[in-house]
A and B are shown apart, each in its own frame.
Chain A
Amino acid sequence: MANKVLEVKNLSVGFLSHARKVHIIRDVSIDVIEGETLAIVGESGSGKSVFTKTFTGMLDANGYIEGGSIMFHGQDLAKLTKPEQWLGIRGKKIATIFQDPMTSLNPLFSIGYQISEVLMLHHGLSKKDAKDEAIKLLKKVNIPDAEKRYDDYPFQYSGGMRQRVVIAIALACRPEILICDEPTTALDVTVQAQIIALIKELQKEYKWTTIFITHDLGVVANVADRVAVMYGGQIVEYGTAEDVFYEPAHPYTWALLSSLPQLGSKNEPLTYIKGNPPSFVSEIVGDAFAIRNDYALRIDFLQEPPMYKISDTHFAKTWLLDPHAPKVEKPKIIQNLRARMKIAAKELQREVGDE
C-alpha cells in the first residue's frame, strides 16, 4: 500500500468579497501519494490555484477555510492560522513554484543570493557553505557558468532561465512536496519542454512528490502519474493518467480532450468548450458544468452529483454514471484517442513506439 503524503478531506474554501461570502472550493477530497506526480487540470477560474494554496497557507487575506482537513504527517494544515505555525512547513517541506518567473524573483538581489538566503534560513548553513551549495544547485538546473552567474540579477535573464532559478530555490529546501503552479504557461513551447524535463529529472533524483497544476493536457500527459480534473471549485474526475485520457467518464473531461488542437483536421472547425467558466458570483446549484455541457441531464441543474467509483483508481462526479442515467458514449472525436494521437505524432516526426 503506497504511502499517502497528503490527505485532503471535504475541504471547502471561501472568500469574503465586498461583505459577501463566495464559496470557491466546495467539499473536495483527494489523497496525494508519496513520490507520485499528481496533475490538477482545469481552466482558469476552476479553483486549482486556490486549492493548492491551502497546502502552504498562502490564501489571500480575504480567503478562509470553511471546513474540512488537510492531513500532513499527522498534522491538520487546515487548522493552522498563524504565520509562525507555517514556518517549518512552507518552503521547507512544501514548496511552490509559480507561473510568472518575472515576478517570482526579487529584482533587487542577485539570483545566487536568493538561493543562499534560503539555505541559510532553512538549513542554517554559513554564508560560504550556502554559496557553494547554491552554485551546485545552479549547475543542477543546467544554468551554464554557474560560478560566474551567481552574481547575476534577474533582469538579465529570460523567462526560462528565471524559472530555472526558481526551481533551484525550491530545490534548496529539499521539499517533500513540490507544488508547480502553471510553471510553464508563460513560457515558449521549447522552453516549456526543457523545464518540464528538468522537474522530472530532479524528482527522480530527489524523490519528492509533485503536484502539477496546468490547463494544458499536453503537459499533463508528459508529467502525470495521476490526474485530477477540476471544475467550478470541485474535483470532477480523478484517476491514473491512462484512466483519464483513455477512459474519461466526465463530460468536462470529454470536452477538454475534444478541444485539443492535435485532433483537428484542416477542413473542419475545431471543437471547443462553449461558454465561460463559472464566476462564483451567484450560488452554484446542481452541477457547475451543466450550463456548458452538451450531455447535461435535467437533474444536473437541480442537484450536485455524488462521486461515483469506476475502479479502484478511477472516480468521477457525474450523474451520467448513475444507474438511472441513459448510456452515453464519449464523443466520437476522442474515441480511439491512442490511434489519433499516434497519427498526430507521426505528423510531428515523432518516433512512435508499439504499445
Chain B
Amino acid sequence: MFRILTTLNLFLLSVFIWADELPEAPPFPTEGLILWLDANHIESQEGRVIRWPDHSGQENHLIQNDQPLQPLTTEFNGKKVVRFSQSSLSLGKLNGFLSGEQNFHIFVQMRADLQTTGSPRLIDISSIQSEKSYTNKRKGFWIGYEDYSLDPDSKGRLRLGVAAGAEAASSQLAWNGQPQILETIFAGNQRWSLYENGTSVGHGRYLGDVGFLGFVGGAQLTLGQHSHSQDPSHFFNGDLFEILAFNRVLNTAEQQQVGKYLSQKLAGEASYKVASKQPVFESDIQPLLVNKCADCHSGEEAKGGLKLNALIDLYRGGTSGPILTPGNAQKSFLFHITASGEMPPAEFGEPLSVDELELLRHWIDHGAMAKEPINLRALNQKTESDHWAFQNLKPPKLPMNMGNHESRSAIDDLIAVGLESQNLTFSDTAPKLTLIRRASLDLTGLPPTPQEIQNFLQDTTPEAWDNLLDRLLSSKHFGERWGRHWLDGVGYSDTNAMDNDQAIVKPAKGKWKYRDYVIKSFNADKPYDFFIQQQLAGDEMVDWRNAETYDQRIKEHLIATTMLRCAPDDTDQDELNILSIRYYILHRTAESVAQNLLGLTMQCCKCHDHKFEPISQRDYYRFTANFTTAWQPRDWLKPLNRELLLMGAKEVTAIEEQKASRQTQIDAIIEMGRKALRQKTLDAIPEVLREDLLAAQTVAKEQRSDVQKYLTEKFGETFDFSQAQVMPTIPAVQQKEVTAFTNEINQLNKNLDDSWAQSVYDVGSVRPTYILRRGEFEKPGAEVEAGIFSVLDGPTVLEMPQPIGNVTSGRRLRLAQQLTDWDSPTGALTARVRANRIWQHLFGVGIVETVANFGKSGMEPTHPELLEYLACFFVEHDRQLKPLLKKIMTSQVYMQLSSVGSDEQAKQAVKLDPDNKLLWRQNLRRMEAEAIRDSILFASGRLNLTMGGRFDDIVNLPSGMVVEAGYSSVTPETTWRRSVYLLNRRNYHPTVLQVFDQPLLIEACQQRDASASVSQSLWMLNSDFLGHQAQALARRIQQDAPDDLPAQLEQLFQYTLGRTIAADEKESCTSAFKNHLMLFKNGGAEDAQAYQQALASVCQVVFSTSEFIYIQ
C-alpha cells in the first residue's frame, strides 16, 4: 500500500516538459541517423532528467533511474540544457550501431565546466564481452578530457580513445567554459578525427592488434560518465544541448549542413565555420602533394607504382589499388594515410598539418575536381586481354577429314590435325576387352563383371559400344565416381576444422548430405548451370527462412551450399576465432571458387596486382565481396552456430513430443514390471526378515550394523531394479513393446541428427568491402562493389537478383548467373574449365595441363580448337555431362589402344612425341585410390553397394595405420562400402587411400598425383586388408570351381584383370601355387587350409600387379 502511494505521489509531483515538436523535415541529412537528443525535449521530474528521448526513430532513449545521478534540466543563456554534475544517463543497447568496426559521425553541442582533476568522460560507448576476460576483446570508445593527474599541462585538451588502447588528443584547449560544437568521426581503419566548431583539431589512429570497435552484440552508451565508474573524477561537469549520431561518415557538404543547423540554434554562442572556398586541384592540392609526396612518388621509379604528379595518376592509384574515392575523403586511402601520419614517413618530412588535411578532405569531399576537366574514360574501361581463355566461346571451324585418319567424330578430326602435322595417325582401336574395362572404370570406378564382359564380347551389333556406354552412364555408380571427382575439386571433407589432431575427429553434423547431393546430382545429370547455382547460392533461391516446413526442394538447395563450407574453419576454438583467421576463411572460400570453377589462381592478387595476369588487386576484392555477406568476418558465425537444422520448428516439436510419449510408455511398462519384480523378490525372502532388510537398505553402507550388512549382502543392496534387470522379467509382449518403442526413439534421434546441414547463407547486414593493402585486414583501402574479374566482365551488367525474404543480398546468386552466362567471357571460361576437367578424367591429362590455371601463367591448351569444340558442345547440350562424355568416349582418340605397337609408325610416334601430347594413343592411367580399393573389394566379392547416408567410420591405430572401423572383427562375411562413403578427413586418410595419393584436403585438389611409392608396394605385399580380400577372393574362386585349379586361376584373372589367363601365366601361377601349397603344408596347415592359403597368396600377387591398378 505504501509503495503504491509513493509511486502515485511521485507521479502527481512530476513535471513533464514537452516543448515544441521537432521540425518534420530536419535541415540536414537523416540517412544513418541513429541518435538525436535535443535538450528541448526532455522527460523530467522535479527538475531532474529521468529520460532523454531519442528522435532518430531508433528508440535510443537514455535513462537514469538512480536519483542522485539524474542530471538537471535547466537553461544556459536562455537555451534549454541538460546539466551534468556527477550525473549520467545511459542506454543498455545502442540500436542502429552494428556490431563490428562501425563508422560513425557524432555531433555534440556542449559546454564544459572547468575541472581540475581526473579524466572526465563526456561520451562512453562500450561493449564488454562478459564470458571472456580477454583484454583485447573488451571494446570501447570514448570522448573526454586529458587526465590532469597524469599531465597537468594538458588541462583542457579534448581527448578521445579506446578502452585499453591508444589515445589521441586535440592540439589546442577546448575546455573554455563556452558552448561549442564538438564533432567526432570514426572512419573505419581504426582512424578517427576530432573537430571543434567545424575545424579539425586532431587526428588519431589506433595501432592495436584487432579492430578495437568490435562491438559484439550491440554497444552500450553512457553520457557524462566513464561507464560503471564511481570515481568522481570520471564524471563530466557541464551542459549538453544536443547530440546527433550517425552510423556512417558524412561528407563535407552534409557535415556543414548539420553544423549550420546546430550553430543556428546556438546563434551568438558558437558558430560553425563553413569553408568559404572550394579547393581546386591545381592551386590547392597539387602544390601540397609536390611538396610532401613527389620526392618518392614521381617518375618511373615511383614508390608503390604510385605517381602523384597529375590528377589522372591520383585516380589511377598505385599497385595496391586506388587511393581516391571522389566525394568521400573518409573512404579515400590518400586521406587516411596522410591523416594518420603514416605518410610521408617520418624520415622524409613532417606530417601534413591539420589545415592541410582539412584542405585535402574538402577537396576530396567536393569531388576531387580540377579546373581542367580530366578524361576519366580511360580509367573506367574494362581491362582488355587478348589471352585466349578470356574470350567468348567461338565454335571452331571443323577440319575436313581427307581420309588420312580413322575418324568417328569431329573430336577425332580436330586431334588429327596435330597428328597429321607430324605424319602420325591414331593407334588401332583397342580390343573390346580393353574397352569395356576402360569404360567401366572411367564411368563407374568399378571393373566389369565377367558376365558383363561376356555380354559385351558376344554383342556384335554396331550399337554394342553405344549400348554399353548408355548402360554405364545410367548406372547409379556413375555418380559415385564422378561425384568423387567433384568432391576433390571443392575440397570436401566431413569435418569443418583443419583436422590437425589425429586423435580428435570432429565430423560436422550431416555434412555428408552434401556428398550424397553431389552423387545424386551427377546421377541425375543436373545441368551445370543449375548445379553450380545451387551450390553457390542455394540459400538465395528458396525462401527457407519463412518456410514452416522444409520440403525436399528447400533442403536440397540448402545442402548444396556446403560447397562453400569446405575451407578449413577452426573458429569454433576461441583462440582461433580472430579476425585474421576469419578473413583467411573468407578469402580461401573465394579463391577456391575461382580456382575450381574458373580455373583462375587469384591468391597473388590478394596483396598486389598480378604480375602475369590481367587481374588486379581490386578484382580480388570485388570477387571476394560476393561472399562477404555470408562469410562476414565482422558478423562471424562459428561453424557450430552456422549449421542449420533442416526441419521446421513444428517438426522438431512433433518429434520431441513423440519421443517423450514413447518414453512415458516405456517408463510405465518398466515401472509396472519393477513393482512386480520387487514384490516377487520380497516374497522370496522369509517374511520375518523383510522389514529388517528394507530398513537396512535405507542405511548408508558404512553405517550398517553387522546384521544389516549380512542381510543386504545376502538379499540385495536395493530393490530399485534397473530397466535392464526388469526387462527379462516382464511378459514377452511387453518386452517387444519396450524394444519397439526404444527403437522408435533411437530412430527419431537419428532423424534429428541427420537433419542438420552445413549450409551457407547471408548473415548480418551488408557491409562494405575494402581492398586490403598487402592483404592485411588492418589496412583497408578503397571500397569495392561485388563483381567478377574485370577482364571477364561482359558487355551487359547483370542486375542483382531480387532478394528472397528481404534478407539475401543476391550477390552469390548473381555471381552464379555470371558464371553461367554462356554468352559472356565468364561463361565461356566456366565451360572451358569444365570441359577440360572432364577430358582430364578420361585421358589423365587436361587439354590445358594446368587444369586449375587458365591464366597467362598457366599452360596453353595442346588442342585449343578441340577445347573450344568441347566447351561449345557442353553448352549446346544443356550443360549436361553425360552427352559430352558419350561424345568423347565414342571417338577414336578415346577408343584407341594405349599400348605401343611395334611397327614403324609406332616407333616414329614414340620418337616424335614421347609424351603423347598429340594423342596418337590413349594414355595408360593409374587408377585413383578409391577405384583401386573398390576394385579389390569388387573382385573379392566383399563390396557392399549400399549408397548414401552417414559415412563409415575409420580408426587410427597406434602404429599410424588408418583402417576401416570394424577392422578388428573381420569375418569372411564382412563387407565394406565404396571408398567415397568412408569418413573424409583432411588428414589421416585410410592408409590404403593415402598411399595411393588420395589428396590431403587442406586445399581443394584439381589434379591428383599418381605416384609409384614403395609404401604402395609394402601395402600390397603385407597389409591386413589386402590379405583379407585375397582370402575372400580365394574362397570365391574355389566356390566357383571346386577342386579345379586351372578353372580357379581362370576365374581369378576374370575377376581381377577381366581377361582370360594366358598359358604362360597359368604355368607360373600353377607352379607358384604348388610351391606355396607345399610350404603351407610343411608349415603345419591342414590340406584344405593350406590349399586356401596358397591360393590366397596367388590372389594377392595378382591384386599387386600393375595391370590390376592401371586403366589401359
A interacts with B = no
